[in-house]
């Protein structure tokens, strides 16, 4: 039986490493397009020789993308950025790339295109991130009917930029939090990977949108306190006024790598909570029972404890 071919754009990132393992277990042959492919060799350890091919792809060169997609059965787009810089803009990454992928898929024999977006994607948002995510969804759906959209809430896991960031910030005696009461539904990265695989296998879900989140809705402030409790650190968690946060972010946005929040992320925290709306399909429709992130993060945050994995709980 001929193995199905799956092209994954951005497969060398956070979600990609978990997704690739799930796909190769199902005997998919994976073509992974990524920048600096020579740095992603660790992905090849997740399958037998020949099952994973790495392609060095420049997002500005769509002719190379055609070659990667033409013989594929499934295409998955994981490309995304959390903040803009001089070379990468939300509109180009989140809106134009999905459009280009969908157009190529429409001219090939691709059976399904899975586009990973984000909860909160909204054309009326003040956030350029959320606007660009929404436009990307629309561009994908309009140009390829066999598109499936997956919108996760905040994705957590051993390599994430959330639980690890606030664990590192525990060196401070006081941790300021913007939007302390902002609610989200953290989901484990392995559950996101499972959701993508289930969406591929599910029949008659073309043009559908899945909003996926973990089993618990929690406020930003309470999640930070939970992280601190997990690493046995007692710190004051205080709310930073949004006005001050926006002034500060205007300055930090000038840095190549913003240390905490950008101005655009402040806009996101000023809007609706990042939780499953129940206006679309959910994890229940994929028959997935998500795990509790607060329990799972104990498995990777131990390294921030005084004494590491041998430290006693307080």
**Residue 306 resides in a domain:** no
Total number of domains in the chain: 1
Q: Taking the alpha carbons of 82, 86, 89, 92 in that order, is the dihedral positive or negative? A: negative
**Residue 224 resides in a domain:** no
**Residue 263 resides in a domain:** no
**Residue 236 resides in a domain:** no
- Three-state secondary-structure class, residue 112: strand
HSE-up of residue 265 (Cα within 13 Å, Cβ side): 19
**Which domain, by its residues, includes 139?**
5-156+186-214+275-290
pTM: 0.93
**Residue 258 resides in a domain:** no
**Residue 304 resides in a domain:** no
**Residue 136 resides in a domain:** yes
Paired tokens of 289:
């029972």
CATH of residue 151:
3.40.50.720
Beta strands 236-240; 174-178: pairing state = parallel
Paired tokens of 39:
């740095």
**Residue 79 resides in a domain:** yes
Question: Tens of pLDDT along the chain (314 residues)?
Answer: 468 999 999 998 899 999 999 999 999 999 998 888 778 888 888 888 889 999 888 777 777 788 889 889 999 999 999 999 888 899 999 999 999 999 999 999 999 999 999 999 999 999 999 999 999 999 999 999 999 999 999 999 999 999 999 999 999 999 999 999 999 999 999 999 999 999 999 999 999 999 999 999 999 999 999 999 999 999 999 999 999 998 888 887 777 777 678 999 999 999 999 999 989 999 999 999 999 999 999 999 999 998 766 666 55
């Amino acid at each position: 039986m001929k193995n199905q071919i799956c092209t994954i754009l951005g497969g060398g990132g956070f979600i990609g490493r978990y997704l690739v393992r799930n796909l190769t277990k199902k005997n998919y042959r994976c073509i992974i397009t990524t920048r600096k492919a020579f740095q992603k060799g660790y992905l090849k350890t997740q399958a037998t020789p020949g099952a994973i091919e790495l392609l060095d792809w420049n997002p500005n060169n769509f002719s190379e993308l055609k070659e990667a997609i033409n013989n594929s059965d499934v295409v998955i787009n994981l490309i995304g950025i959390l903040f803009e810089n001089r070379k990468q803009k939300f509109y180009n990454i989140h809106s134009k790339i999905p459009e280009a992928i969908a157009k190529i898929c429409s001219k090939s024999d691709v059976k399904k295109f899975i586009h990973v977006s984000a909860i909160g994607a909204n054309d009326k948002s003040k956030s350029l991130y959320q606007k660009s995510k929404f436009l990307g969804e629309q561009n994908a759906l309009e140009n390829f009917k066999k598109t499936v959209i997956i919108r996760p809430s905040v994705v957590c896991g051993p390599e994430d930029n959330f639980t690890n960031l606030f664990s590192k910030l525990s060196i401070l005696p006081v941790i300021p939090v913007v939007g302390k009461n902002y609610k989200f539904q953290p989901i484990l990265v392995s559950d996101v990977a499972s959701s993508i695989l289930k969406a591929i296998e599910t029949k008659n879900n073309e043009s559908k949108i899945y909003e996926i989140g973990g089993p618990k809705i929690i406020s930003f402030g309470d999640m930070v306190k939970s992280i601190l409790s997990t690493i046995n650190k007692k710190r004051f968690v205080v709310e930073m006024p949004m006005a001050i946060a926006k002034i500060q972010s205007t300055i930090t946005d000038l840095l190549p790598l913003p240390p905490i929040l950008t101005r655009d992320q402040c806009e996101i925290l000023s809007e609706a909570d990042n939780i499953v709306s129940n206006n679309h399909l959910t994890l229940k429709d994929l028959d997935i029972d998500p795990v509790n992130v607060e329990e799972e993060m104990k498995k990777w945050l131990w390294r921030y404890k005084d004494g590491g994995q041998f430290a006693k709980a307080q």
